[in-house]
Homo-oligomer: A and B are copies of this chain.
Amino acid sequence: MLHGAIESPRIAYETWGELSPAGDNAVLLFTGLSPSAHAASSPDDPSSGWWEDMVGADKPIDTSRYFVICVNSLGSCFGSTGPATANPATGQSYRLDFPVLALEDVAHAGHAVVESLGIDRLFAVVGASMGGMTALAYAVAYGERTDGVLLISSAARCLPFSIALRSLQRELIRTDPAWADGQYPFDVPPIVGMRLARKLGMITYRSAAEWALRFGRERATDDVAVAGSARSPTADGAGGRFGIDFEVESYLEAHANKFIGAFDANCYLYLSRAMDLFDVADHGGSVAAGLQRVRAKRALVIGVESDFLFPPQQQREIADGLRAGVADADFKLLPSIQGHDSFLVDMDRFRPAIASFF
C-alpha cells in the first residue's frame, strides 16, 4: 500500500507484563495520531502514559495478566521511522519524500513487532480513534491469528465532515510560511500552524455539551489571559482587542502552547492524511465485505454519544459488519459527554466497558 518503499523501517514499541508460556496473552495496542508508544508507566519509564488509568497491573488492560505491546505508528516521530527520520539513501530526513502512508502500513509494521517477539496469535488487537482504524486494518489482514478485536471511537472509513476538518488542520500547517514546503529546520518548526491545527483538533475532540458545563461564559482570569497573551505568538498587538477573553479561549491557548515541539509537523500531515485515506472497503469491495474478513472470536466496538468527529453510527456500522465473521461481536454506546476524547478522560464509564472485554 505504500506508494514507494521504506527499507527496513524501525518501529519503536513498549511492553508491559509477560508473555505467557502458551504465548496466548498478547495484546497489541495501536495509538491515536499524536501519542507515543508510552501508554503507561513502567520500570523503564516511570512517567505517566497516555492511557495510564487503563493499562497496568489490576487495571482494565491488566498487565499482570496480559503481555501488552504498544507500537509507535510507522510515520510518527517517537522512535519509529517516519518523515522526520533519516532516509538511509540520502542521510537526510525523508520529509516529503516519505511515501504516502496508509494505516495498513502502520498495521503491518505493528505485525512485524509482534513477529519479532515470537508471538503467533494475539489475544486481542486494540485501538481508539486512528488506533482503532489501524487495529481494524490489522484484524482484516491478520484476522486468522487474532482472537479478539477491541475498537473504540473509530470508523470503517472516514466521512467527509471529519475529512474536511483534518484537511483544514493540514492546511493550517501548510500555509504557515515556516512550514517551508516541509523543509523547515527541526529547531524552527511551523509553530503558528501547529498551534492552530491543535486548537482546531481540540475543538473536534470534545463536545459542546461538556464545554457549556465546564466553561459557560466565564471570562479568563486576568493573569492567565495576560500570561497567555504575553507567551502567545498570536497576541494582538493592538491592545489585545482580539486576544484571549473567554475561559474557553484560554483553555485552547494552553493546549496549543503545550503542543509546541510535541509533534513533528510533517509526521502530523502524513498520519492525518492516512486517516482520510483509510477505507475498509478497499479490502473486498465494500465496507461489509471488508469487515466480514475479520475472523476473530470476539469483538467489542465502543462508541460515544457525544462524539461528533467519529459519530456513533460509525461504530455501530463496524459492529454490524463484524458480526458476519465474528461469532461474538458486541457494540457498546457510552453516554459520555466529553466527545471523541472520552476514552481518555471518562474513566468511570470506560474502565468497566473495557474491563468487560478482558
Contacts and interface: CB of A to CB of B under 8 A. Distances in A.
* A interface residue count range (under 10 / 10 to 19 / 20 to 34 / 35 or more): 35 or more
A316 interface: no
Interface in A193-250: 196, 199-200, 203, 207-208, 211-212, 214-217, 233-234, 236-239, 241-242, 245-249
B249 A163 contact: yes
B234 A163 contact: no
A102 interface: no
A252 interface: yes
A196 B217 contact: no
Nearest to A200: B168
A217 B160 contact: yes
Nearest to A203: B164
A175 B96 CA distance: 25
A242 B217 contact: no
Contact of A212 (B96, B160, B246): B160
Interface string A252-277: 10000000000000000100010010
| Chain A at the B interface: SS class | helix
Closest 5 CB pairs of A and B: A161-B208, A160-B248, A160-B211, A160-B215, A96-B238
15 contacts: A159-B211, A160-B208, A160-B216, A160-B247, A163-B249, A164-B199, A164-B211, A164-B248, A168-B200, A172-B196, A175-B196, A177-B177, A181-B237, A208-B311, A246-B276
Interface of A: 96, 100, 157-165, 167-168, 170-172, 174-175, 177, 181-182, 192, 196, 199-200, 203, 207-208, 211-212, 214-217, 233-234, 236-239, 241-242, 245-249, 252, 269, 273, 276, 279, 308, 311
